[in-house]
Amino acid sequence: MENFKRLKNEGNEFVKLGEYEEAVNKYSECMELNTEECTVYTNRALCYLKLYKYEEAKQDCDHVLQIEDSNIKAFYRRALAYKGLQVRKKNMAGI
């Protein structure tokens, strides 16, 4: 549990610095220790959104909503992921 908290805090610090790839790595390490902690999934989803990785963000939010079906952050970030996927789809149609 101590290692989990340390990794999560390191991930949070990377987010504050705008180092989203590094934060993703830290949150992923957290998930190896605890797959039920929803905040690391919503935090990683935020990072994926910042990195324009909308499908990955959606998957993280879907996972959270299976555990907590009323998680507001997961709903909001999944909506942003869907919006990003729609924009990408429209841009690809124009090519």
The model's pTM is 0.91
Residues 26 and 8: beta-carbon distance below 8 Å: yes
State yes or no: pLDDT of 87 exceeds 90: no
Encode pLDDT of 58-80 as tens digits.
Answer: 999 999 999 999 999 999 999 99
Give all domains of the chain, ordered by start, each with its CATH number.
1-93 (1.25.40.10)
Which stretches does DSSP call E strand in 3-79? none
Residue whose token pair is 């907590």: 68
Residues 83 and 56: beta-carbon distance below 8 Å: no
Encode pLDDT of 18-63 as tens digits.
Answer: 999 999 999 999 999 999 999 999 999 999 999 999 999 999 999 9
